[in-house]
Every structure is written in C-alpha cells, then in structure tokens.
Structure 1
Amino acid sequence: MDFPPGYSNGGKMGVCRLRKYLYGVKQSPCAWFRRFTHAMRKNGDYQSHSDHTLFVKQRNGKVTALIIYVIDMIITGDDSDEIVKLEKNLSAEFEMKSLGDLKYFLGVEVACSSRGIFLSESKYVLDLLKETGMLGCKPVDTSIVEKHYLGIYPDQEPVDKGKYQRLVGRLIYLAHTHPDIAYAINVVSQFMHSPSMDHMVVVTRILAYLKSAPGKGILYKNSSHLRIEGFTDVDWAGDVTDRRSTSGYFTFVGGNLVTWRSKKQNVVSRSSVEAEFRGMAHGICEVLWLRKLLGGLGFKAKEASSAIRTGDCKEPGKT
C-alpha cells in the first residue's frame, strides 16, 4: 500500500500493514472469494475444478448449483429445499438480496417459456446503436465481407484509438449471445493497438448487422439426451500480415449451442493439414472440458462425438 497523502513518519522508511481488505484494494477480491468459498464448503458444496466459480451440491439424486461473478450469483437446480437452505445460510453470512426468478444478469436478458430458455442482449444492442448514432442506419446481411484482406499497412489512415477500443470492447461482450459475430469481432480486435479507417468501417458494418435483428439470441430447449458434439474449422493462412490461420469451433450439449470461439492460431502452419489439426486440438479440448464439467454436475455423458469439416472458415462462429 502507498502511504496516505499528508502522512509523515519522520523521513524513515517503512510499509503499511494491511489489517482490513477495503473495497477497491486489489487484494479485496481474493479475500472476498476466499471467504465466500469457505462459506460454501461449510454448507457442504463442492467447488468445481473445471470452473472455480461454480459450486455444486448433490443430495438424494438431486443437484443444486451456484455460480458467482464478482458479487452477483445464480442459484439453480431441482432441489428446492436445498436452494432455500442455501439462501438462508448465505444471508446469515453476507448481506445479500434475492431478486427472485432469473430475468436479467450482467446485461443478458433471460426469458423462460414452454419452448425453453431464451438468452439475448437486445437492450444492450439498442443502447449501443443509440450511443453510436447507428439506430437509424441501413441494416446489412453479413457482419463482415469475404476476402476482406484487413491488416496493418504503412499508408493506412488512422482513427481515434480510444473510440475504436471502446467500441470493440463493447462488441466483444455481445459475443456472449451472438455467435454469428464471433469471427468478425476476432478480426477487428486484432488491430486495437493501431486502428485505421478500414478497420473502423468493419466495426461500423458489425453495428449495421446488429441493427438487422437486435433481438437475436440463443434458445435452449429441453432434450432427451446430453450428447456432446463439437465442430471445428480453420482458415489456412488467412491473415495477410503474418500468414497465421484462424481456428473456429462450436459445441453442442443435448442439441443446444453452449460454447463457441474464433481465434487466430499462435504459430504459422506450413500446410492446411497442420492448420486443421491445430483447430481440431482446440475443439477436442473444449469437448473434454465440457465432459468434465457435466460430470461434476452429476451428468455422465455416455458418448461424445466430434465432427470435423475441412475447408475455408469464413465465419467460424456463424450458425
């Protein structure tokens, strides 16, 4: 810790001893989560090794799960008595408030119906379009054009770096419910340190694409199976600057899309086969992680399949 302004110790060297973790101090999140973990273990919950923010308790064939992000948490499961007990124990340990059924969490809107659970960020999209002046723009059908050849060139026209980074940062958060823009966001996020007018044009196109369907989201339906399926693809040497390939994968559990990613590979692949195998490795790791996560929740997957499709990966995250 730094000495408070105006404090004088007579010119002697010294340090401050931290007696209490104040809100805002970098040590406070670790101290808070350590205390919360201790309270959950005291309640008999198991901390998942696949996701350390997930706590699970199995009792009489029923499951109760809690996941926390900073100080916001979601409690779910089929053991209603255990959920009531958990809320009571947490209220005794911390100052907390129950908001009832889940409808809104960290900008994500949750709608439950007989068809399933629908996740969207329509308000977030509309607010972003309004702030950027794109609310009345003409919508487009795709988030990015094919063969865009974006890169960093010596004669490029620079744009406001801070504005570009803020826009891309907000778009990255939208990828949580919009797998169809995952590839486009992956492309524009590579030029955060040196954005140009060409890069800003792509960001503007993504906003225009969101304008076409601001209420688009993901629907999770009830399924009779929990089969895990993974699909991967790769664009070999697609980056015009460093000739690295872009990998993409998306996975399904019970026929529902759960994870997706589009990311440029760390090294240059010397053949399309090498690039494909690297992409497959990322997809298989994701499938194995999902198997372990479901196992911690008490669901034992009887089978796991991974379908690999070869070819150019224009938009790995698009469904």
Structure 2
Amino acid sequence: MIITEDDEKEIAQLKVRLSKEFEVKDRMMRRRLLSSRIEISHGSKGIVLSQRKYALDLLSETGMLGCKPAATPIDQSFRLSAEAGEPVDRERYQRLVGRLIYLSHKRPDISFAVSVMSRYMHDPRKGHMDAVYQILRYMKGAPGKGLRFKRSGHVNIEGYCDSD
C-alpha cells in the first residue's frame, strides 16, 4: 500500500490505525524495487510506478534487446485469424503473453494489444507470435513507461472491480 498525503500527522495516525488491524511494515524509501518487478520512483513532480527492469529482462530473454523499436504496440495492418498460419510453440506463446499481461498492469499503452493476443492462447499461430513481437518492439522504445501520479494538493485514486 502506498500512502500519499501532505499532512505527516495524518499519515502517522493512519499507520497507527492500520497497525491495530494488520501486520504493518513501514518502508519509507525514495526508490524501491518490489519483488524486482515494480519500481516506485518518488520525486518532486510526483510518483511513478513502472516495471522497467521487468520489461528489460523480458526483452533480453526473448533476444529482442537489440531490436529496432516500433512506433505502435499493434499494427493496424495485422489481420489475425484463429486458424490462419503455422502453429507455434504454445507454451512459449502463453509464457510471453502471460508476462505481457503482468506488464500491462503498469503499462496501459499495451493493454489493448495484449488483450487481443490473449484471445489466441489456446492455439497460437505464427501471425499471433509476430503480433506479440510487435508489442515487444514497441516496449523497446520506452521500457520505463509506467503510471505517473502528479504531485498536487490532492491525490484521488479510484479503483473498480468487475467480478462475478
């Protein structure tokens, strides 16, 4: 949980209330790597949540660290079909798309493309894998993109959950 507030006294009171109900560890750091996956950068302009290291690791593991970056995460000329093209290694495809799904939580710019690719997890084809590589090439252009919360008088974060 990240607590942001201008009033230090109010933060302290909230921590006390939380510690009565939950086991709480207070980690006041300017920059923190959570499980080597989510990077939190705190500066004068606000807070940035990113997964730069995770993205770079993914590019390195797929051999795409030296690739030419793409301008968009999904090419409009791609015409994907469930049965068209040669089948590809399903486990590799599922692993890549699964890692991209995890990455898309902090990268809304790839969320749509990743959701399209996740439709083909059961029977991936060469065109689907090419589209996944397009997403990876796009990420190469800015691996540190993430969610930025500007510093202002008030921080309003709303969350929605649609579950059955």
Normalising by the smaller structure, the TM-score range is 0.7 to 0.9
Partner of 1:118: 48
Q: How has the CA–CA distance of structure 1 residues 205 and 75 changed in structure 2, closer, same or farther, with 3 Å as cutoff? A: closer
Q: Which runs of 5+ in 1 are unaligned?
A: 1-73, 227-252, 260-285, 290-319
**Which one has a larger percent helix, Structure 1 or Structure 2?**
2
CA distance in 2, matches of 1:224, 1:89: 28
1:110–1:120 CA contact under 8 A, matched in 2: yes
Partner of 1:76: 3
Report the CA distance between 1:199 and its aligned residue: 0.4
Report the CA distance between 1:156 and its aligned residue: 2.3
Partner of 1:69: none
Partner of 1:207: 136
Q: How has the CA–CA distance of structure 1 residues 84 and 181 changed in structure 2, closer, same or farther, with 3 Å as cutoff? A: closer
Looking at both structures, which has the greater relative contact order when contacts are Cα pairs under 8 Å and sequence separation is at least 6?
2
CA distance in 2, matches of 1:162, 1:182: 21
Report the CA distance between 1:157 and its aligned residue: 0.3
**Which one has a larger percent strand, Structure 1 or Structure 2?**
1
Report the CA distance between 1:177 and its aligned residue: 1.6
Q: How has the CA–CA distance of structure 1 residues 198 and 75 changed in structure 2, closer, same or farther, with 3 Å as cutoff? A: closer
Report the CA distance between 1:214 and its aligned residue: 0.9
2:101 to 165, 169, 172: 172
CA distance in 2, matches of 1:173, 1:88: 30
Report the CA distance between 1:206 and its aligned residue: 0.7
Q: How has the CA–CA distance of structure 1 residues 84 and 183 changed in structure 2, closer, same or farther, with 3 Å as cutoff? A: closer
Partner of 2:71: 141
Q: Which has the larger radius of gyration?
A: 1
Q: Are residues 1:159 and 2:88 paired? A: yes
1:119–1:218 CA contact under 8 A, matched in 2: yes
CA distance in 2, matches of 1:75, 1:135: 32
In the TM superposition, what are the counterparts of 1:249-264 in structure 2 within 5 Å?
none
Report the CA distance between 1:120 and its aligned residue: 1.0
2:50–2:144 CA contact under 8 A, matched in 1: yes
Partner of 2:28: 100
Give the counterpart letter for 1:182 in structure 2. S
Report the CA distance between 1:147 and its aligned residue: 3.9
Give the counterpart letter for 1:109 in structure 2. E
Partner of 2:147: 218
Q: How has the CA–CA distance of structure 1 residues 105 and 86 changed in structure 2, closer, same or farther, with 3 Å as cutoff? A: farther
Report the CA distance between 1:222 and its aligned residue: 3.2
1:120–1:216 CA contact under 8 A, matched in 2: yes
1:158–1:195 CA contact under 8 A, matched in 2: yes
CA distance in 1, matches of 2:11, 2:151: 20
Q: Which runs of 5+ in 2 are unaligned?
A: none
Report the CA distance between 1:218 and its aligned residue: 2.4
**Could you state the TM-score of these two structures normalised by the residue count of structure 1?**
0.43
What CA deviation, in whole Å up to 9, does each residue of 1:114-149 have, x standing for no partner?
A: 111111110010111111111111111111111422
**Deviates further, 100-109 or 134-143:** 100-109
Report the CA distance between 1:105 and its aligned residue: 3.4
CA distance in 1, matches of 2:65, 2:71: 16
Q: How has the CA–CA distance of structure 1 residues 143 and 75 changed in structure 2, closer, same or farther, with 3 Å as cutoff? A: closer
SS of residue matched to 1:76:
coil
2:78–2:131 CA contact under 8 A, matched in 1: no
Report the CA distance between 1:75 and its aligned residue: 5.4
Amino-acid identity (%): 43
Report the CA distance between 1:195 and its aligned residue: 0.1
SS of residue matched to 2:119:
helix
Report the CA distance between 1:88 and its aligned residue: 5.2
Report the CA distance between 1:168 and its aligned residue: 0.1
1:76–1:83 CA contact under 8 A, matched in 2: no
Number of equivalent positions: 155
